[in-house]
């Protein structure tokens, strides 16, 4: 999902790589920063190609930003077989190994927020801080509006720009004026890639391991999100010991786009805060 872009400067373009990892060819993007701060590993939303994450690379110029198209998404070829969340996390770890990243901060949005939780549990020693946007604990969640969820389950929003623009506000809860800008950045996923992303999280929940996550965690939720209601942020905040919750007032599911001027400084401030922060005893932001 895009994070908002200011057109008044030259874009900071990523280096594109096409490694074959574990038999799966991937398209990887790395926005190289100054190297003064820990890199960010970014997990995108379901069906979302890495172009939608480009403004993150422009915003966080003091650190590298690494992301990749999941198999069958964007320009990564479709996988042969279904996969589970732990296998997707392992794939991300192998991407980091491929390019020499030992420790990262992790950011995930929506489906990618669940993947960020899985990665933080599975490779906790390689994660510094965790940022979760518009996401939930998986199967144990407060569901979104049925009309929005029915549209989310089908990739038509990526395949038919007119359909996306017609249903944008009902689906995401965001300003419909954003629809056209969002649509032009989309590359349609393959049917198999989209289905396998859905299957990867079937029956998955992070509830058993969230109380054991040691990482300082920033949870960001929009109070107008039709897909992942705000209540899910409170669930995550209750379960993750060192966490704090930031509520985007008036924000829908795409608040990283619609409220970029507000939310990017919040993330930067969180990342710059000393890691001694103990969220359990601190007030929500």
Residues with active-site annotation: 110
The band of 281, judged by pLDDT with boundaries at 50, 70 and 90, is very low
How far lies 121's CA from each of 125, 180, 259, in Å? 9, 37, 29
Tell me the percentage of the chain whose pLDDT exceeds 70: 78
Residue 74 backbone class (left: φ over 0; alpha: ψ -120 to 50; beta: rest): left
Across residues 176-198, what is the average pLDDT? 75
pLDDT, greater one: 273 or 93: 93
Q: Report how many domains make up the chain.
A: 1
Across residues 103-107, what is the average pLDDT? 98
pLDDT of residue 2: 41
Please indicate, yes or no, if residue 88 is contained in any of the structural domains.
yes
pLDDT of residue 10: 61
Please indicate, yes or no, if residue 6 is contained in any of the structural domains.
no
Across residues 229-245, what is the average pLDDT? 97
Residues present in the chain in total? 285
How far lies 116's CA from each of 5, 40, 104, 272, in Å? 24, 11, 11, 20
For residues 113 and 251, what is the distance between their CA atoms, to the nearest angstrom? 17
Q: What is the CATH number of the domain that holds 208?
A: 3.40.50.1820
pLDDT of residue 257: 77
Instruction: Find tokens 């996969």 and name the residue.
Output: 83
Q: What domain range includes position 134?
A: 15-273
Across residues 22-49, what is the average pLDDT? 94
Please indicate, yes or no, if residue 3 is contained in any of the structural domains.
no
Output the DSSP codes for the chain. Answer: ------TTS---PPEEE--EETTEE--EEEE---SSS--EEEEPPTT--GGGGHHHHHH-TTS-EEEEPPTTSTTSPPPSS---HHHHHHHHHHHHHHTT---EEEEEETHHHHHHHHHHHHTGGGEEEEEEES---BTSS----HHHHHHHTSTHHHH-HHHHHHHHHHHH-S-GGGHHHHHHT--PPPHHHHHHHHHHTTT-B-TTTGGG--S-EEEEEETT-SSS-THHHHHHHHH-TTEEEEEETT--TTHHHHTHHHHHHHHHHHHHS-TT--GGGSPP-
Please indicate, yes or no, if residue 254 is contained in any of the structural domains.
yes
pLDDT surpassing 60 at residue 147 = yes
pLDDT surpassing 50 at residue 7 = no
The band of 6, judged by pLDDT with boundaries at 50, 70 and 90, is very low
For residues 72 and 163, what is the distance between their CA atoms, to the nearest angstrom? 22
Across residues 177-204, what is the average pLDDT? 80
Taking residue 36's Cβ as centre, other Cβ atoms within 10 Å add up to 8
* pTM of the entire predicted model: 0.86
Task: Return the minimum-mean-pLDDT range out of 1-10, 191-200, 268-277.
Answer: 1-10
Please indicate, yes or no, if residue 104 is contained in any of the structural domains.
yes
The band of 8, judged by pLDDT with boundaries at 50, 70 and 90, is very low
Across residues 78-101, what is the average pLDDT? 97
Please indicate, yes or no, if residue 9 is contained in any of the structural domains.
no
The band of 285, judged by pLDDT with boundaries at 50, 70 and 90, is very low
pLDDT of residue 165: 58
For residues 179 and 169, what is the distance between their CA atoms, to the nearest angstrom? 8
Kindly compute the dihedral angle of the four CA atoms of residues 170, 174, 180, 181, in this order, to the nearest 10 degrees: -150
Please indicate, yes or no, if residue 284 is contained in any of the structural domains.
no
**Mean per-residue pLDDT of the chain:** 85
For residues 182 and 136, what is the distance between their CA atoms, to the nearest angstrom? 23
pLDDT surpassing 60 at residue 276 = no
pLDDT, greater one: 219 or 261: 219
| 42-83 pLDDT per residue, tens | 999 998 899 888 888 889 999 999 999 999 999 999 999 999
Please indicate, yes or no, if residue 278 is contained in any of the structural domains.
no
CB crowding 43-76: b at 16 or more within 10 Å, else e: bbbbbbbbbbbbbbbbbbeebbbbbbbbbbbbeb
């Amino acid at each position: 999902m895009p994070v908002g872009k200011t057109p008044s400067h030259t874009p900071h373009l990523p280096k594109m790589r096409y490694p074959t990892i574990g038999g799966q060819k991937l398209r990887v993007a790395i926005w190289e920063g100054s190297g003064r701060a820990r890199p960010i590993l970014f997990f995108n939303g379901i069906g979302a190609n890495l172009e939608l994450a480009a403004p993150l690379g422009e915003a966080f110029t003091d650190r590298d930003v690494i992301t990749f198209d999941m198999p069958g998404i964007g320009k990564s070829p479709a996988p042969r077989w279904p996969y589970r969340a732990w296998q997707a996390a392992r794939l991300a770890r192998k991407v980091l190994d491929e390019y020499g990243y030992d420790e990262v901060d992790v950011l995930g949005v929506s489906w990618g927020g669940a993947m960020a939780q899985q990665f933080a549990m599975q490779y906790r020693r390689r994660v510094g801080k965790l940022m979760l946007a518009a996401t939930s604990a998986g199967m144990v969640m407060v569901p979104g509006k049925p009309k929005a969820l029915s549209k989310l389950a089908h990739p038509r929003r990526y395949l038919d720009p007119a359909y996306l623009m017609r249903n944008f506000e009902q689906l995401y809860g965001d300003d419909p004026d954003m629809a056209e800008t969002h649509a032009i950045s989309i590359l349609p996923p393959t049917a198999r890639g989209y289905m396998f992303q859905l299957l990867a999280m079937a029956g998955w929940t992070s509830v058993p391991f969230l109380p054991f996550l040691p990482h300082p965690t920033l949870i960001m939720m929009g109070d107008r999100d039709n897909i992942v209601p705000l209540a899910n942020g409170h669930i995550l905040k209750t379960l993750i010991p060192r966490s704090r919750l930031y509520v985007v007032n008036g924000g829908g599911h795409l608040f990283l786009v619609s409220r970029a001027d507000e939310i990017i400084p919040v993330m930067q401030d969180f990342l710059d805060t000393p890691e001694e922060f103990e969220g359990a005893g601190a007030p929500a932001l």
